[in-house]
């Protein structure tokens, strides 16, 4: 299955920046997804290098206009958080679209009922303010793999849609997108030869069920070196990670399985670690 010269994935790190941005527009691509377009003078210099680039979003406390923000450490390397209240409240979000010329940045928020970010997004209106730190780094994937496998839930949709937008003409891709129902399907813009399968929970709660696992396990592998990217609820991904890494023995460098949130856990403030025994 290995090709002789698999493409090299490069990770680049960026100087950390902290910005306060203003909501310019709010739209609803689907009933349970809110797209917030941010702008303002502090957007100048924003870095957008790769489809999975993500930022730390800082939310104002209820009733406050501005978010509490961390400061950039004196050595310029990382963020320093206050040791006394008020503390910043942050969550991770993918850069869905950045247009430097227009001075616009889109973030897509899943509405899942509770949680600081979800509640904020449901109420978002033009003029409201958000803090943003990052992106801290970018994983630069050359689109030179023999084929692609992308899978994930709604939280992974912004990154997967961006990857599909970036893939070259005719690149073979198998894609599984897990959403509540047909109303939650997004238009996907791609030149790739992408086989896109929408999986519907049909009443199951987010993070429940094994639809993604069964879909990934059912994939007939194409010849050559794949690049695989999977993200979603941490528990739902464990059997997928085990299957791809352990059972199939795929190279972890080209097989990224990332827990973006964890059922019952407020603010999974890191990607779910890839543990040997997972
Ligand atoms: C690198 C990265 C990129 C991400 N990009 C995006 C993105 O572009 N868009 C996006 O919507 N999310 C994205 N996420 C996931 C998002 O950060 C989490 O879903 C986050 O927990 C939402 O914060 P919250 O304040 O709404 O809920 P929290 O306060 O963190 O959690 C409250 C409760 O809601 C549950 N919960 C959290 N998220 C969900 C969910 N999606 N569905 C159902 N229940 C949930 C938790 O388990 C908890 O019980 C990303 C995460 C990472 C690590």
Residues 189 and 101 in one domain: no
Q: Atom 21 of ligand 1 has which residue's CA nearest to it? A: 267
Q: For residue 271, is it within any domain?
A: no
* Residues of the chain above pLDDT 70, percent: 95
Q: The domain containing residue 257 runs over which residues?
A: 144-261
Question: Average pLDDT for residues 115-134, to the nearest whole number?
Answer: 96
Q: Which residue has the higher pLDDT, 252 or 114?
A: 252
Q: Output the DSSP codes for 31-78.
A: TTEEEEEEESGGGTT----STT-EEEEE-PPTT-SS----EE-TTSSS
Q: Output the DSSP codes for 86-145.
A: SPP-EEEEE--EEETTTTEEEEEEE--SSSHHHHHHHH--TT-EEEEE---EEEE--S-S
Residues 54 and 108 in one domain: yes
Q: For residue 3, is it within any domain?
A: no
Check residue 122 and give its pLDDT.
96
* Residues of the chain above pLDDT 90, percent: 82
Does ligand 1 come within 6 angstroms of the Cβ of 271?
Answer: yes
The residue written with tokens 């005719």 in the block is 170
Tell me: the pLDDT tens digits for 128-179?
999 999 999 999 999 999 999 999 999 999 999 999 999 999 999 999 999 9
Please give the number of the atom of ligand 1 that sits closest to the Cα of 258.
53
Residues 185 and 130 in one domain: no
pLDDT higher than threshold 50 for residue 276: no
CB burial of 74-108 (b: ≥16 within 10 Å; e: otherwise) equals eeeeebeeeeeeeebbbbbbbbbbbeeeebebbbb
Nearest C-alpha neighbor of 53 from the set 162, 167, 138: 138
Does ligand 1 come within 6 angstroms of the Cβ of 206?
Answer: yes
pLDDT higher than threshold 70 for residue 3: no
Please give the number of the atom of ligand 1 that sits closest to the Cα of 153.
41
Does ligand 1 come within 6 angstroms of the Cβ of 93?
Answer: yes
Supply the mean pLDDT for the chain. Answer: 93
**What separation in Å is there between the alpha carbon of 7 and the centre of ligand 1?**
31
Distances (CA, A) of 162 to 114, 153, 156, 158: 26, 14, 10, 6
The last residue of one of the domains, among 82, 103, 137, is 137
Residues 166 and 57 in one domain: no
Does ligand 1 come within 6 angstroms of the Cβ of 229?
Answer: no
Residues 124 and 219 in one domain: no
pLDDT higher than threshold 80 for residue 223: yes
Residues 32 and 111 in one domain: yes
Residues 29 and 89 in one domain: yes
pLDDT higher than threshold 50 for residue 211: yes
How far from the centroid of its chain's Cα atoms is residue 75's Cα?
A: 29
Please give the number of the atom of ligand 1 that sits closest to the Cα of 264.
49
Q: Atom 5 of ligand 1 has which residue's CA nearest to it? A: 93
pLDDT tier for residue 189 given thresholds of 50, 70 and 90 = very high
Residues 208 and 95 in one domain: no
Residues 154 and 242 in one domain: yes
Residues 85 and 183 in one domain: no
**CATH code where residue 33 lies:** 2.40.30.10
Q: Atom 49 of ligand 1 has which residue's CA nearest to it? A: 264
**What separation in Å is there between the alpha carbon of 136 and the centre of ligand 1?**
19
**What separation in Å is there between the alpha carbon of 28 and the centre of ligand 1?**
17
44 is written with which tokens? 């100048």
**What separation in Å is there between the alpha carbon of 74 and the centre of ligand 1?**
30
Question: Average pLDDT for residues 220-232, to the nearest whole number?
Answer: 97
Q: For residue 156, is it within any domain?
A: yes
Tell me how many domains the chain contains: 2
């Amino acid at each position: 299955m290995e090709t002789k010269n698999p493409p090299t994935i490069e990770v680049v790190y960026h100087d950390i920046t902290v910005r306060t941005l203003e909501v310019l527009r709010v739209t609803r691509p689907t009933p349970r997804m809110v797209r917030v377009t941010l702008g303002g003078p502090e957007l100048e210099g924003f870095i957008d290098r790769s489809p999975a680039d993500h930022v730390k979003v800082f939310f104002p406390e209820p009733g406050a206009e501005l978010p509490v923000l961390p400061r950039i450490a004196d050595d310029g390397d990382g963020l320093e958080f206050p040791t006394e209240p008020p503390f910043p409240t942050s969550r991770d979000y993918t850069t869905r679209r950045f247009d430097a010329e227009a001075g616009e940045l889109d973030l897509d928020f899943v509405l899942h009922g509770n949680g600081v970010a979800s509640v904020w997004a449901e109420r978002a209106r033009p003029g409201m303010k958000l803090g943003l730190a990052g992106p801290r780094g970018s994983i630069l994937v050359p689109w030179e793999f023999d084929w692609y496998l992308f899978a994930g839930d709604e939280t992974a949709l912004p990154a997967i849609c961006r990857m599909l937008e970036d893939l070259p003409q005719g690149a073979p891709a198998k894609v599984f997108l897990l959403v509540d129902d047909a109303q939650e399907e997004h238009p996907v813009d791609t030149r790739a030869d992408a086989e896109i399968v929408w999986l519907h929970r049909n009443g199951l709660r987010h993070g429940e069920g094994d639809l993604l696992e069964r879909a990934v396990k059912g994939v007939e592998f194409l010849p050559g070196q794949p690049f695989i990217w999977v993200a979603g609820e941490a528990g739902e991904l464990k059997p997928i990670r085990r299957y791809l890494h352990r059972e199939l023995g795929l190279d972890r460098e080209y097989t990224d399985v990332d827990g973006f949130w964890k059922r019952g856990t407020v603010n999974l403030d890191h990607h779910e670690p890839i543990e040997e025994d997972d």
